[in-house]
Structure 1
Amino acid sequence: MIHKLLAVILAAGAFLALTEGQKAHDQLTELEKKGVDLALQNLNSHPSTEHHILFSKTLDKFSSEAHFDDRFVYHNFYAKATTCTKQTEDPDPKQCPFRGDRPLIDCVICYKGHLENIVSEPKPYVSCVRRPALTEEIKNKRNEQCKTIQHSIGTITLLGTKGT
């Protein structure tokens, strides 16, 4: 009886976490969703990925307007592996709960957007790393790559400023 109750509680928790991730994704702008989708496409296409990976939650994001509907977007978010294998086409977040036995994946994507589309030049930068492997060196490299994209489209550099 206790095992069944525990299983129900765990299933409810997984569903709640999944729906919270879906709600967080739904609250993103169209341009931010396209950035998340690009990062997830990169993750899910990797040969070592066995299960679909979905957006979990935003950690940090920044967007600045450059000129004439051009924007620089920086988005740092968590992604998580689900119970659905890669063979599952168009995984439904309700049918594919997050796995609790896999580490979080910390992703950063930065890119230039025009209106609601990601442009190909400068090439978007995507970096996704499993949490235990994320180092200060990787964080610094990410910041440098994003600064390069930001400078190339002529936006102010929030990533280079220090808080007071």
Structure 2
Amino acid sequence: MATLLLIVLFGCVWSAAGQDELMKLSAGYKAGAKLAMEQVNSHEGVQQHFLFFRSIKRSELDAGFGAKYLSHHFNLKPTRCPKGTAAEELSKCKFRNDRPLIDCMVCYKTYLDEIQESPKPYIHCIHKPALTKDMIKVRRDACENMSYSAGSVTLLGVKRNR
């Protein structure tokens, strides 16, 4: 009985810890994580709701004038809550430890912490056991190309000839 109580308490703390990690993210990173969660949870094959679990790596490139290119590698973890659970109930969902994590990589441009439609955000999420080295390379290339494709003339970069 004590073991069961310990498992239940551990599950509650574990679930709350993931959402605490999400709340610690800046608004720009949080928006990208939520975008990936929406995409994963809207997939027709998903039965249980997935929630943010932990960040693995984050990077940002300041493009100036309030624009940034963000790259965020993180994991989502399945919960015991069924798909379609109301948003206000999600904080009560307990993580499952009997299912694999989903490994996500998102890259996108923000302006004042709002995700921009152009260039189109790159979102790649897959069950962790199925992630290959080739997929990791494709992810890296997609994110690198996104941040370097936005080159344009800036006021400080213009040189005046006299």
TM-score of the pair, normalised by structure 2: 0.89
Alignment pair present for 1:138 and 2:135? yes
Q: CA deviation at 1:87?
A: 2.7
Alignment pair present for 1:104 and 2:101? yes
Letter in 1 for 2:62: E
* Distance of 1:91 and 1:132 partners within structure 2: 31
Larger Rg computed on CA atoms: 2
Task: Provide, for residues 57-94 of structure 1, a one-character-per-residue CA deviation record: whole Å limited to 9, x for no partner.
Answer: 10000011012111000000010011010131215344
Q: CA deviation at 1:20?
A: 1.3
Match of 2:148 among 124, 127, 151: 151
Task: Provide, for residues 27-63 of structure 1, a one-character-per-residue CA deviation record: whole Å limited to 9, x for no partner.
Answer: 1011111100000000000000011110001000001
Which residue does 1:53 correspond to in 2?
A: 50
Q: CA deviation at 1:17?
A: 1.2
* Distance of 2:151 and 2:140 partners within structure 1: 16
Which residue does 1:5 correspond to in 2?
A: 2
Letter in 1 for 2:127: R
1:92 alignment partner, SS class: helix
Which residue does 2:15 correspond to in 1?
A: 18
Q: Identity of aligned pairs, percent?
A: 33
Which residue does 2:80 correspond to in 1?
A: 83
* Distance of 1:16 and 1:52 partners within structure 2: 18
* Distance of 2:115 and 2:5 partners within structure 1: 42
Tell me the number of residue pairs that the alignment of Structure 1 and Structure 2 aligns: 152
Please, which runs of 5 or more residues in structure 2 have no aligned partner?
153-162
Task: Provide, for residues 92-129 of structure 1, a one-character-per-residue CA deviation record: whole Å limited to 9, x for no partner.
Answer: 34421001111011100000000110000000000111
Which residue does 2:39 correspond to in 1?
A: 42
* Distance of 2:146 and 2:12 partners within structure 1: 37
Q: What RMSD, in angstroms, separates the aligned Cα atoms of the two structures?
A: 1.4
Give every structure 1 segment of 4 or more consecutive aligned residues whose post-TM-superposition deviation is greater than 6 Å: none
* Distance of 1:53 and 1:66 partners within structure 2: 32
Task: Provide, for residues 134-159 of structure 1, a one-character-per-residue CA deviation record: whole Å limited to 9, x for no partner.
Answer: 1101100100111111112249xxxx
* Distance of 2:151 and 2:107 partners within structure 1: 14
Please, which runs of 5 or more residues in structure 1 have no aligned partner?
156-164
Q: Is the CA contact 1:112–1:153 (under 8 Å) kept in the aligned structure 2? A: no
* Distance of 2:95 and 2:75 partners within structure 1: 12
Letter in 2 for 1:78: N
Distance 1:131 1:91, change over 3 A: farther
Which residue does 2:60 correspond to in 1?
A: 63
